[in-house]
Structures are given as structure tokens and as C-alpha cells.
Amino acid sequence: MVYRNFRIVIFIRILLLSVSIFFFIYTLESKFFLTPVFIGLLAFLQIIYLIRYVDRTNRDLASFLESIRFSEFTRSFQVDGMGSSFNELAKAFNNVINDFQTVRAEKEIHFQYLHSIVQNTDVSIIAFQKDGTVELINKTAKRLFQVSTLKNIHSLKSLSNDLVNTLLNLKPGSISLVKVQEEDDILQLAISATEIKIQNKLITLATVKNIQAVLEEHETEAWQKLIRVLTHEIMNSITPIASLTATLELMLKNVTEDKSQEIFRVRPETMQEFQTALKTINKRSTGLLHFVNTYRNLTRIPKPNLKITKVKEIFKNIESLMEEEFSAKKIGFTSYVYPEILELSADDKLIEQVLINLIQNSIHATENKESPEIKLKAFQNKRGRITIQVIDNGNGILKDVMDKIFIPFFTTKQKGSGIGLSLSRQILRLHGGTIYAHSIPDKETIFTLTF
């Protein structure tokens, strides 16, 4: 007979075992030799089954505790029908399991929430140990450094040694700037770090932000403010000078032509010198006014009329405009757009103005070359940004000049105004893009526009 209540089953098993032992002792004095053997064997089997019955509950409890130890909360503790005390025990254990499940679910939700924030923020985040072993890298950092996975910071040496050294030696709470120059892109990285300790491991948590566009915007705004102030002051000073010199020149002209007036008693040669000097002053003042009005254009760029434009059409228009000059100066010109359907959200007139200015610079740079070549390329770079490049094989740009070429009024040409590249940078900034140059003197110069 099978009893499901634990106490009753234990009581009956002990009672039967006691009876068996009693009969075993009683039959030892009998004449039947096999009877006590069978009764002893029966008692032994009862002891084994009693131990196994008790051990079954212990095994269930041990299994339950193991599931807690290894965070396996899908099991439950079932002891129905074994008595009220076991029912209460089972209820308590199941409540513990449910609480652990709730806590685990909350932690999982919290982890997924934080993981989603870290992975989708627009700031690059890298967590690594002192030896460079990477613990975490988010998607933004992978896009920035163009890696699918990163196991060690030293793997970034192919991108920039300065970047690796800065990351490994950056002090917590400090900010460092690193410039990374690539063939078709330039990065100005602001890097900050903090340290955290997790399970006896010291982790450096670094944030990396590309601030190239921000730096260019602030630089441009600073130059614009300076230009507005200078042009205002110069205009206020020159305008009355130009007006007065013109008036005086007219008055002296009338006097010198009227032979009857002897009041001035000035020799004609001296009068002529006065007139010549005033002409010179007036000419220079007028020229300076024109100079100032020219540079005021740097602060008066029209707002771009953005529309979807095929890059190939822009290139075609430029080639039509420059074809005659290319032919006259025997310059080899090629253009390349990949894919051919590449489109750009931009003001095509302003972009054409920038490209024509860059091509004119290239024409000037290749004047003394035996086989001058200019290339125009458009493609998507490895970060998915639309990129246009103007490439020539001219004289190039010296390294110590490279950082100055986009400064307003700076020029290396004898007849240059120094506003072309500065104007181009402002036009690109209004399009949300950047422009920079890379040059190997006497070999290749590349101006890159990224949108």
C-alpha cells in the first residue's frame, strides 16, 4: 500500500521494520533455519527503502538549492501530499524562486536598457583594462574607428599611434585632443576618461567625440566676427577720406584751369603735384573700399537652397564650363562618380562654385608640369558619408602652410585674394559638411569635401 503523507509513510515503515526485527529475533531460536534469513533480508530491504524514501526528499531539496546557486529558476519544488509542514516548506521555496525570478527579470530589463543607451548613443564609448584589453565598445565607436570588433586598444595603431597612446595614458577626469588624418577623412577627437573597479579589475571608461565640424564652425564664426568689425571700422574711416579727396581734386582742377585768379599765387608745378597726390589718395581709398566690400562677402553667404541633386550632373556642368581652359592649357581631366546614381542634398550652384574654385587652384598649381592632370571623384567613404575629391599632380602645399590655407586673407599666390578656400569652407559648413586638404609636394594634392 502506497501512502502519500510523509509522516504516515514513515510511521508505517518504522512499524513494519520493528515487526520484522521482532520476528527475526523470535525465529532465531526456532528450528527453521531459512525463516530468520528471509525475515532478516526483508528487514534489510525495508531499511534500504526507508533511507531511499527519506533521501528522495533530500535530493529534491539539494536540487532546488543547486538551481538557486546556478540561477536556474525554471524549476519548482513539488511535495504535494506529503503533509502540511512540507506544503509550507514547498510554498516558501517556491516563493523564494519567484522572488529570484522577479529580481532577475528586473536586472535583465535594467541591463538591456543601459545596453541600449550605450550602444545607440552618438558618443563613442570604449571600456578597457590597463593592458589594453577591451571590455566593451559601442556601435558608434565601431563606426568611428571602422572596426567590426576590437579586442585590444593596440589594434588601433593602424589608424593612429597618437590615438592609442592617448587612450592608454589618459588620466581620469582630463580631456585630450587627437587629430587623425586619413586619406579621405579627417578626425578631430576629444577624448575623456574615468576609472571604475569591477571584481578587482580596474577598468578605464573612455568617451570619444569627433569635434571636427564644431571646431570649424567656431573658427569660421570667430573670423566672421573679426571681419565684420574690421570692415565696419575701415568703411567708416575710408568713406569720408575718399569723398573729401575727390572734392579737393575737383576744386584744384577748377583753380588751375582758371588763369584769372591770382589769389592762390601757387606755381602750376606745385599745383600739379597737389593734384597728383590727391588722385593717388583717392585711387588708393577707392581701391581699399573695393577691397573691404570684397571681403564682406565672407559674412554674406546666402542660405543654401537644398535639393536632391545628382552628383554626375554637377560634374557634367563643371566639365562644360572648364573644357575650353583645360584644352588651352593641355590639362588632362577625368571625372569619376560611384555609384553613377549618387545623389546629394545640396545647393548645386554653391557646390559648383566651390568645385570651380578648387579646380582653378589646381590649374594654377599645375602650370609648370609637363603632364598636368586634374581628377574629380565622388563616392561614399567607409563611414557612409558622400565624398567629393579634387585631385591634381601640381606643386602641392608645404606642410607648414597646410594649417593656414583656410584662414581668411591667407594666400600663397601673388595675385590671390585669400578668400576662396575660406569661402568654400563656409559653404560646406552651411551644408553640414567639411573640407580639408592632403598634399604630397610635387606629387599629389587632394581637396576632400564630405557631406
Q: What is the pLDDT of residues 142-169, one digit of tens each?
A: 888 888 888 888 888 888 888 888 888 8
**Percent of the chain whose pLDDT exceeds 90:** 8
Residue 373: band (very low, low, confident or very high) from pLDDT cuts 50, 70, 90: very high
pLDDT at 389: 93
The one-character DSSP state at 17 is H
Strands 373-380 vs 332-337: parallel, antiparallel or unpaired: parallel
Residue 375 has pLDDT above 90, yes or no: yes
Name the CATH topology of 122-210.
Beta-Lactamase (3.30.450)
| Residue 57 or 443, more confident | 443
Give 172's contacts (C-beta < 8 A, 6+ positions apart).
Answer: 193, 194, 195, 204
The one-character DSSP state at 185 is -
Taking each helix axis from N to C end, the angle separating 348-365 and 311-328, rounded to the nearest 10 degrees, works out to 30
| Residue 13 or 60, more confident | 13
pLDDT at 252: 63
CB neighbours of residue 420 within 10 Å: 20
pLDDT at 2: 36
Mean pLDDT of 179-200: 78
Residue 257: band (very low, low, confident or very high) from pLDDT cuts 50, 70, 90: low
As beta bridge partners, residue 192 has 175, 207
Residue 89 has pLDDT above 80, yes or no: no
pLDDT at 48: 82
3-state secondary structure of 110: helix
Residue 396 has pLDDT above 90, yes or no: no
pLDDT at 392: 92
Read off the C-alpha cell for 329: 592649357
pLDDT at 193: 84
How many Å apart are CA 211 and CA 408, to the nearest integer? 21
Residue 124: name the closest of 140, 143, 136, 135 by CA.
140
Residue 365: name the closest of 331, 327, 409, 322 by CA.
331
Mean pLDDT of 400-420: 69
> So where are the chain's domains?
6-100, 122-210, 215-299, 307-450
Q: Are 352 and 322 in contact (CB under 8 A)?
A: no
Q: Are 24 and 5 in contact (CB under 8 A)?
A: no
Which of these CATH numbers, 3.40.640.10, 3.30.565.10, 3.30.830.10, 3.30.1360.80, describes 307-450? Answer: 3.30.565.10
- Asked if omega into 408 is within 30° of 0 (cis), the reply is no
How many Å apart are CA 373 and CA 375, to the nearest integer? 7
**Percent of the chain whose pLDDT exceeds 70:** 67
Q: How far apart are the first and last CA of the chain?
A: 86
Residue 237 has pLDDT above 60, yes or no: no
| Residue 155 or 294, more confident | 155
Read off the C-alpha cell for 320: 562644360
Residue 1: band (very low, low, confident or very high) from pLDDT cuts 50, 70, 90: very low
Per-residue pLDDT tens for 128-137?
Answer: 888 888 888 8
pLDDT at 249: 64
Q: Are 423 and 407 in contact (CB under 8 A)?
A: no
Average of per-residue pLDDT values in the chain: 76
Read off the C-alpha cell for 32: 527453521
- Average the pLDDT over each of 95-104, 117-126, 147-156, 257-266 and give the range with the smallest value: 257-266
Per-residue pLDDT tens for 298-349?
Answer: 556 677 888 998 999 999 888 888 888 888 888 999 998 999 899 999 988 8
Residue 28: band (very low, low, confident or very high) from pLDDT cuts 50, 70, 90: confident
How many Å apart are CA 118 and CA 195, to the nearest integer? 17
pLDDT at 441: 86
Alpha-carbon dihedral angle through residues 338, 344, 347, 348, given to the nearest 10 degrees: 20
As beta bridge partners, residue 136 has 127
| Residue 399 or 218, more confident | 399
Residue 105 has pLDDT above 70, yes or no: yes
The reply to whether 122-210 and 307-450 are identical in fold is no
Strands 343-346 vs 386-392: parallel, antiparallel or unpaired: unpaired
Residue 140: name the closest of 188, 209, 206 by CA.
209
- Average the pLDDT over each of 258-267, 295-304, 433-442 and give the range with the smallest value: 258-267
Most confident range (mean pLDDT) of 4-8, 52-56, 118-122 is: 118-122
pLDDT at 267: 62
pTM of the model: 0.52
Q: How buried is residue 227: exposed, middle or buried, by Cβ count under 10 Å (0-12/13-18/19+)?
A: buried
Q: Are 171 and 163 in contact (CB under 8 A)?
A: no
